[in-house]
A = this chain, B = another copy of it.
Amino acid sequence: MTRIRFHQELDELKHRILAMAGMAEQAFDLAVQAYSQRDPVLCQRVISNEAGINRAEREVDEFAIDLLAMQQPMAIDLRFILAVIKINADLERVGDQAVNIVQRVMNMIELPASELPVDIPAMATSVRAMIRDALRSFIEGDPELAKHVLGADDEIDRLNHDAFAALSSYMQSEPNGAVQALDALSIARNLERVADHATNIAEDVIFWIRGADVRHGAGHHSVGS
């Protein structure tokens, strides 16, 4: 493979991972909308879209591994391909979390509505901004924006901690609402895990651009990813 051809292939890899990212973002958005509207049709759409995300993940992975096998990419190109392999796995797991969310929503639809002391849509908006910024830092190769994403993760951990406290005291005062509260708590956790995936993506962008491994210490990492 010529050097020019190799760089065309790297562009193609970037193109494919961004298509994969679009699918994961859409799954997340639909899941949050399904929660807000208690809409079983949206839940089903998220579930039926999952197979396509899994297929896209496999194809991106194979393409990246073939590139590694055919060329001996040096330094920054090698790090780019490794970053794509890792980002790909995180995006697929964002899709898994969207499925987990709608499974809880389908359970909630069956139950009488409760006024739960948690603002899931607000939490989802913060998490959505993290995914968007992490992906933009990848598209633009911008390690500063990626670092900004790492900082935002603390905010999500705090929101999730508050949700846990509020929902567990609610369960004690309103035992009849316990199942709804547990569903909401699961969704808050799923959102926190999506935020962890956004953090992982941001770390991979920094690793790609700077060659620095920012996990655990040099940068920022919270347990629970």
> A-side interface residues toward B, CB under 8 Å?
50-51, 54-55, 57-58, 61-62, 65, 68-69, 72, 74-75, 78-79, 82, 85-86, 89, 93, 96, 99-100, 164, 168, 171-173, 175-176, 178-179, 182, 185, 189, 213, 215-217, 221, 223-225
Per assembly, the copies of the chain total 2
> Which B residues lie within 8 Å of A99 (CB)?
223
CB within 8 A of A65: which of B51, B78, B96, B221? B78
- Which B residue sits closest to A93, measured CB to CB? B225
- 26 CB contacts below 8 A, A to B, read A54-B215, A57-B215, A61-B213, A62-B213, A65-B82, A68-B68, A68-B78, A68-B82, A69-B75, A69-B78, A72-B72, A82-B85, A86-B89, A93-B225, A96-B223, A96-B224, A99-B223, A100-B223, A168-B179, A171-B171, A171-B175, A171-B178, A171-B182, A172-B175, A172-B178, A178-B178
Residue of B at shortest CB range from A70? B72
